Amino acid sequence: MTPPPSTIRGRHILVTGGAGYLGSMLVPALLGQGYEVSVVDLCIFGDDALQPVADHPHLHIYKEDIRELDRFSSLLRNIDVVIHLASISNDPTSDLDPDLTISTNYLATTALARWARAQEVQQFIFSSSCSVYGASTGRLLDELSHTGPITLYALTKLASERELLELSSNDFRVTVLRFSTLFGLSRRMRFDLAINAMAKSGIDGKNLVVNGAGTQYRPFVHLLDAADAILDVLRAEPSVVRGQTFNVGGDHLNFTIQGLAEEVQKAFPDIAIDHATANVDVRSYQVRFQKIVDALGFKPRRGVLDGVEEIKRAAESGVLGSMDDKRYYNLAVMKESSDTKKESRWSVVSSPKDNTSTAKSPAPRRGKSLITIGQTHDE
């Protein structure tokens, strides 16, 4: 269970969620840069995402649950950097079992960071989300802007951010990366992400569907650009990234959902755009990315159509098989997992379905300490 020591101090990285949508593309990039890499992942979506590098002499894969706290000590021995990607991802999946979401996204995250600091890990890079901004008023939001998460997923991300940044020091450098919504082709492919889902509709010859009026804003970033941002943090001077939060994306990749559909439509000129007016989505945020440009020189190199076209090529080649396979959808897989089959004992919060919903938690019940993440948004 103990990862072997790296031959060069500062070159052994532990990646949680390393077999996931982003992780399966990041890990080969890390290996290509000469890092020793250990991956911790339950592999509930399958274990073939890392198959191309499975025999790499500097890769070590552990099929473990990050909630198993007693295993952290040995897993973190000889580790210099932790890149924490593992989480219950997206809003519907997070709502499926709030207990599981909080224990994974918040409690395990903060416990992992404390264990890492105790084991003298030098750096901790946390994968957060621009969804912590919630529903904005239309102006561009930077890292100092008001946060107001309106879903359980976003709530756990923001709560974790705050706990982790309090742990940051000269000897334990914490960096928070608030990723835009990811898109693009991955070895652990997903079709429950906005651009990927629209690309699938176009490939299937179906109209693109926009919820509501489509005026809600979202920022997007290609997953390979997201991986590049992580590499930039690893290469940066410690003083530049220590205790810092960075939005990850590009100003030009802020789209309304209607505008996004029109962009994707360029790859499928014979496909129309439909509106599901009954499906109202209150989340809307335009994000500013100047800080990461100034600090790290990071700028996304791939656009929406780059992601759409690579998915089209993969589908046409047959490598994806049936794009309706449940393995491409987090919610479908999680519904069948052993953790989510159990009856939830209580629900902390569920995502809003209309403007009257809130992200406030109910009063805590005796013996349930998970509720302490409630009310994390700025007042």
Do the Cβ atoms of 95 and 155 come closer than 8 Å?
no
Q: Cα–Cα–Cα angle for 325, 330, 331, nearest 5°?
A: 95
The reported pLDDT for the residue numbered 356 is 33
The reported pLDDT for the residue numbered 63 is 92
Do the Cβ atoms of 142 and 291 come closer than 8 Å?
yes
81 is written with which tokens? Answer: 């950097």
CB within 8 Å of 155: residues ≥ 6 apart = 149, 349, 359, 373, 376, 377
pLDDT band at 265 (very low <50, low <70, confident <90, very high): very high
Q: What is the mean pLDDT of the chain?
A: 86
Tens-place pLDDT, residues 60-93: 999 999 998 677 778 898 999 999 999 998 888 8
21 is written with which tokens? Answer: 């949508």
What are the E-state strand segments in the chain? 12-16, 36-40, 59-62, 81-84, 123-129, 135-141, 173-179, 181-183, 208-211, 217-222, 244-248, 254-256, 273-276, 284-287
Picking from 103, 104, 157, the residue whose alpha carbon sits closest to that of residue 127 is: 157
The reported pTM is 0.88
- Looking at 125-139, 147-161, 275-289, which range is the least confident one? 275-289
Q: Percentage of the chain with pLDDT > 70?
A: 85
* Share in percent of the chain as helix, strand, coil (round to 5): 40, 20, 45
Q: How far apart are the first and last CA of the chain?
A: 44
Distance CA 192, CA 100 (A): 20
Amino acid 124 reads F
Positive/negative CA dihedral, 322, 46, 89, 19: negative
Tens-place pLDDT, residues 102-122: 999 999 999 999 999 999 999
Tens-place pLDDT, residues 244-255: 999 999 999 999
Distance CA 133, CA 135 (A): 6
Q: Cα–Cα–Cα angle for 249, 250, 255, nearest 5°?
A: 95
Q: Which residue has the tokens 């589908």?
A: 315
CATH number of this structure's domain 12-335, picked from the four choices 3.40.50.720, 3.30.365.10, 3.50.50.60, 3.90.470.10: 3.40.50.720
- In Å, the largest CA–CA distance within the chain is 58
* 280-298 average pLDDT score: 93
Positive/negative CA dihedral, 158, 159, 163, 166: positive
